[in-house]
A and B are shown apart, each in its own frame.
Chain A
Amino acid sequence: MSINQDVKNPYHQNKILNSSDPFSELKRRVEGLIREKETTKYEFNKFRIESEEETKKFLLELLEVVDAFERLFNIIKERGEKIDQQTKIWIGNFRTIYKLLLRALREFGISQIDTLRGDQVNPHVHSVVELVQKAGQKDGTIVEIIKKGYWWKDKILRPVEVKVVKND
């Protein structure tokens, strides 16, 4: 059957002609299809953004647990000589839980922002929260990492809170 012959029949021409300009109709269809795709894309994007926001909030909360563990371990380290054998075992158990938490965060794409004491402050990743005077050191030199900072994949989740040198 020849397609050309069949669809060229007068009935069909009339039908489409009667619905005003057939090409505008066709265009409308194509645009409709494309718009539908765009709407889906937009909705998906919105959903993605919202869930990313939620995840970000959740990860930040988890990081506070990490901070709390670390603060505790720091105190324990300072006072190490006064701890008895039994407590040491328990602390070891807590460390395991802490490591579990870190592993879970790593799975989510969380990694620490590498910062060393003596580095110069980088405003894009370091947040200066405390200052100290130190003769002989350049302004902006990091002397202490107060709170660790983290990447979430390639984006900043939380900047490193640092104490830096500032001499008047």
Chain B
Amino acid sequence: MKKGRFVGIDLGTTNSAVAVIEPGGGCNLIFNSENERLTPSVVAFRKGEFYIGSPALNVFKLEPQDTIISIKRLMGRSIKDPQVQEMKRRYLYEIVEPSDGTKDSVRVKLGGKEYSPIDISAMILGKLKKDAERVLGAEVTHAVITVPAYFSDKQREATMEAGRRAGLKVMKLLDEPTAAAIAYGIKVGVEESKWVLVYDLGGGTFDVSILVMSAGGSSVVHLEGDMWLGGDDFDQVIIDYVVERVKEEYGIDPTHNHRFMAHLRVEARKAKEILSSQRTAEIIIPAQLRDELGNAIDVEEEINREWFEKKIEPLVERTMRLTRKALDTQGLTPDDIDHVILAGNATIIPKVQEAVEGLFGKEKVKRIVHPKEAVAIGAAIVAGMFEGIECVNCGHINDLEANRCAKCGKDLGPEKEEQMKICPHCGAENKKDAEICKKCGKSLLGVRGIAPFHYGIQTVGDKFNIFIRKGDPYPTPEESRKVQTFRTWYPNQRRIAIPVYGGMNEECASKNDKQGEAFCILPPNLPEDTPVRIKLWLNKDGYFEVEAYLEDGTDLKPWIMRGDKDQLVMEKFMEAEKQIAEKEGMFSPDQKSKLEQLREKVFEKMRKRDFDGALKEVEELKKSSEEPIEIDIEEIAKGLIAFTLFIIDRYGWMIGSYSIKTLQNAVTELEYALNKGDHNLIQTKSNKLKKELDEVLNSNELLIFFVGIMWVINTQVASVSPVEAVNLLEELEDIEIAVKNNQPHAIKMIENFDKKLKEILSKIKIECYKCRYLNYLNVRYCEKCGADLWLPK
């Protein structure tokens, strides 16, 4: 399956940001199409077009009624909420009650049309998604979105819905303070919990949150805040000072000069940032003001840190009062807090840091990540680790591809068709809650039993192929027994496992309960994609029955495991196959064909349901695979010498002259021992050469890489296609030359080669459909990821 990228989104009131974990590690904010890291959470409508982000902000002055800002404050709100009334007073756009009669909701008006807060948020998320895709060059499918800790269930649900509408699968809604804590790398062990205080001094608001973090997650226990205190107030201190100075020095009041004041606001913010690392900051505003003669006035003021810190003391004290209040309300002392996190841009001010450190102690206060980015980065980290979709409704963790919550049925992705109820009399499809068949009019009740959940079989990719739906009657009437066609997914697939599951998760079989398993043996040498028709139904007792046929009607006679002798045979058989697979490549051709014959016998007995007989054959198979492999010590020694000389000859350029010398000496000693015919000496010297060779091979990544590939070609590829093997060996030599000469295209060549090699090997081995690992033909479960390789697709 094509996998998209997972991102973390900080959907803020003023600004939003997207972050992503890079494949090479590390986490970055993604630039939007305006080349900014932060996208203003603003949507404007002008002349039939929507503008989102900075372009929307650019026309805010011109279209204040058609520019939606701070939509987050309206999420999940009802028109009667006092906050909404406050918003109506503050903002120029229209906030109305839905005209379609939806209760407990609000709509905003853009270009005369009503939009829900979810629609607007979805537009913002849509832009973030699109811009991220442009930068990442891949589809963004999943996201973790952050929400304020105080968001109600309704507000959370609205945020989730906005994500869905923007075409995202929302894996999780993460509390903003928790996201910040994660970005700062706060980890908790099992059976441990930590108190974390987040001090968030943003541009216009101040929030203190206290959270408890434990291995199972984290929860916010207390919130304190001031809606009207933030970094802008700190800037204002500087602005007021400069205005006073201008009045004194030039006798003019600059507050009516909008251009000067706008310039001053920018300069004040810069000065604040400079003062966090330097003792003084200069404010220079050239030629924005004029004296009474019309001459340009250049305003130049110097601000020093001592003065600034004294001025902002009351503001800092206000935040500290709220911080102490938050602790008091929870009955906590500063000592109880394990970590303090500074978030928000204004926390770059040293005075603020000192005050917080003064209360909690320096070592507890963390400030590494850029405070503006912390929330998005925390979300991206969670998106990178979290392997599921958390249902906003019931908290159930669903599979990543789920479209509906397996527990409560909540939609997590695009809408799916409604479930149907099949009439047992005529087979017509009825709505799931129908009591009488719409076609034949017969009752849909009163049948012997009703399936308690969906029954289906698991196929490649953990898909759930439903044969019987919840509410279907049983015994399943002959005429409504479903047949579905599956396919073998590799050539000569001899075994098909048919695991039967029951449950309500329509996407993912293993999320349901396993009801049992059936097996069938296929005739040899069928091509890949051979159709297998499987029929599954419920008998009068509500148990499942299975039939399987090839297209030509051959009955595959699947048998259902009843946990008796058949189970034992199967287990022993899988054990033997695994053992054989481990020794693959070490058997002589005679041994190989013997094993093949034994395997056929096992299949034969299984097909005839002779499990006692099959067990005997399986044991025989196991025994044969354990037969020792003959080793001739002199032959090994000769091979070893030849191999060493070959390595020196071909890869001498990578090895270094000292190692070559060591190897040559060891070879000479072994040759001497061989000439003498002294077996003990041969053994010792062989071991010595082996050791030296090992050292050389292991000390050089590239060398072992080439040797490994060569071995694979010579044994595995050569056994199926000698021509292909020769071609590959030639190509390998070209790569070696490219590497030797340090040519930059070598890596490309290696990649291409790897692809080609895998392609060839996939014909003789089975590539796991899940993790792409190449498995030996007969093992049932993928050695790397455990996927069932006997399933049909």
- Chain A proximity mask over B7-46: 1 for CB below 8 Å, otherwise 0: 0000000000000001111101001001100000000101
Contacts A6-B643, A128-B58; is A43 near B286 (CB within 8 Å)? no
| Set A11, A41, A127: member contacting B58, Cβ < 8 A | A127
> CA A49 – CA B585 in complex, angstroms?
50
- Please give the distance in Å from B738's CB to the nearest CB on chain A: 13
> CA A1 – CA B705 in complex, angstroms?
21
- Chain B proximity mask over A150-162: 1 for CB below 8 Å, otherwise 0: 0000011001000
Contacts A123-B55, A123-B59, A127-B58; is A3 near B729 (CB within 8 Å)? yes
> CA A123 – CA B26 in complex, angstroms?
34
Say yes or no for B586: interface residue by CB 8 A criterion: yes
- Chain A proximity mask over B641-664: 1 for CB below 8 Å, otherwise 0: 011011001000000000000000
> CA A3 – CA B784 in complex, angstroms?
32
Say yes or no for B750: interface residue by CB 8 A criterion: yes
Say yes or no for B754: interface residue by CB 8 A criterion: yes
Segment of A71-79, A91-99, A104-112 engaged in the interface with chain B: A71-79
A window 112-168: CB within 8 A of B: 121, 123-124, 126-131, 139-140, 146, 155-156, 159, 164, 166
Cβ of A7 and Cβ of B646 under 8 Å apart? yes
Say yes or no for A90: interface residue by CB 8 A criterion: no
**Chain B residues with CB below 8 A from A85, complex form:** none
**Chain B residues with CB below 8 A from A146, complex form:** 259
Cβ of B35 and Cβ of A155 under 8 Å apart? yes
> CA A6 – CA B641 in complex, angstroms?
9
> CA A33 – CA B751 in complex, angstroms?
9
Cβ of B25 and Cβ of A42 under 8 Å apart? yes
- Please give the distance in Å from A12's CB to the nearest CB on chain B: 5
Contacts A25-B708, A72-B287, A128-B59; is A10 near B635 (CB within 8 Å)? yes
Cβ of A26 and Cβ of B708 under 8 Å apart? yes
| Set B636, B642, B701: member contacting A5, Cβ < 8 A | B642
Main secondary structure of the interface of A (DSSP, over half): helix
Cβ of B58 and Cβ of A123 under 8 Å apart? yes
Interface residues on B, range: 35 or more
| Set B287, B704, B709, B710: member contacting A3, Cβ < 8 A | B710
Cβ of A42 and Cβ of B287 under 8 Å apart? no
Cβ of A8 and Cβ of B640 under 8 Å apart? no
Say yes or no for B774: interface residue by CB 8 A criterion: yes
**Chain B residues with CB below 8 A from A29, complex form:** 701, 704-705, 708
- Please give the distance in Å from A130's CB to the nearest CB on chain B: 7
Q: How many A-B residue pairs have CB under 8 A?
A: 163
> CA A79 – CA B572 in complex, angstroms?
102
Say yes or no for B631: interface residue by CB 8 A criterion: yes
Cβ of B712 and Cβ of A140 under 8 Å apart? no
Which 8 A-B pairs have CB atoms at the shortest separation, nearest pair first? A9-B639, A42-B24, A39-B24, A123-B55, A71-B287, A68-B286, A127-B58, A29-B705
Q: What residues make up the interface of B, taking CB atoms closer than 8 Å to A?
A: 22-26, 28, 31, 34-35, 44, 46, 51, 54-62, 258-259, 262, 286-288, 290, 294-296, 585-586, 631, 635-636, 638-640, 642-643, 645-646, 649, 690, 694, 701, 704-705, 707-712, 714-715, 718, 725, 729, 747, 750-751, 754, 761, 765, 773-774, 783-784
> CA A7 – CA B693 in complex, angstroms?
14
> CA A75 – CA B59 in complex, angstroms?
29
> CA A6 – CA B638 in complex, angstroms?
10
Cβ of A12 and Cβ of B61 under 8 Å apart? no
Cβ of A121 and Cβ of B62 under 8 Å apart? yes
> CA A43 – CA B705 in complex, angstroms?
25
> CA A151 – CA B553 in complex, angstroms?
71
**Chain B residues with CB below 8 A from A121, complex form:** 59, 62
Closest chain A residue to B751 by CB distance?
Answer: A34
